[in-house]
Amino acid sequence: MNLQSYREVVAQWVRREGLLGWVYAINQLWMAVLRRLTPLQKDGVNIFEHEWDVCIILDACRADAMLEVEPEYEFLSAGDEIWSVGSTSSEWMRSTVATEFHDAIGETAYVTANPHSALLDWDRFAPVEPVYEYGWENGLNTVYAEQVTDAAIEVARQGMADRLVVHSMQPHFPGVPKHTDEGEPVQQVPL
């Protein structure tokens, strides 16, 4: 992201979130500086070290937050907690698509709302579905989770891969607006 794009995004955050938008902008700038200086996460477990059929990535979701709401949802099972191989999207992607997992990655489809996935070598995967390319909501700076889910279902039905990674941007900031069937935002969901 260049400086002009960053200023435009910050202006949108501030218009929408007020003081919280400024806080988030300063935090993102600080994190960008830190990312350039050193990796933020050195240890972690690669998702390809585990057995699974579908791996759902909830970008920026903390395990403690998931455990807090687990009793409220019958379908939710937070399971065991593992450390990620990266604390930023680009760091996680570089570390996850490690050469040692070449065969497993070749049998995996990747459905993603995360624009950082453009950094990946998509030829290494069974299909890649970059939902952010057609589903990005400029006014919100994110992709609705429903679009990612729908794309994942479609990719799974095609049967082109043995495994499926579904990378949603939620619960990542900004909070996801609820919307009507016509697609109009009606309320901001708290972070």
Per-residue pLDDT of the chain (191 residues; tens, 9 = 90+): 556 666 776 777 777 778 877 887 787 777 767 656 655 555 788 999 999 999 988 887 777 777 888 888 887 776 677 788 887 888 888 888 877 899 999 999 999 999 888 888 888 899 999 999 999 887 777 888 889 999 999 999 999 999 999 998 877 665 665 555 555 554 444 43
As a whole number of angstroms, the distance between CA 55 and CA 119 comes to 20
Residues in the chain: 191
Going through the chain in order, the beta strands assigned E by DSSP cover: 54-58, 108-112, 128-130, 136-137, 142-143, 163-168, 177-179, 185-188
Residue 106 CA: distances (Å) to CA of 33, 34, 89, 95, 98: 34, 32, 20, 16, 12
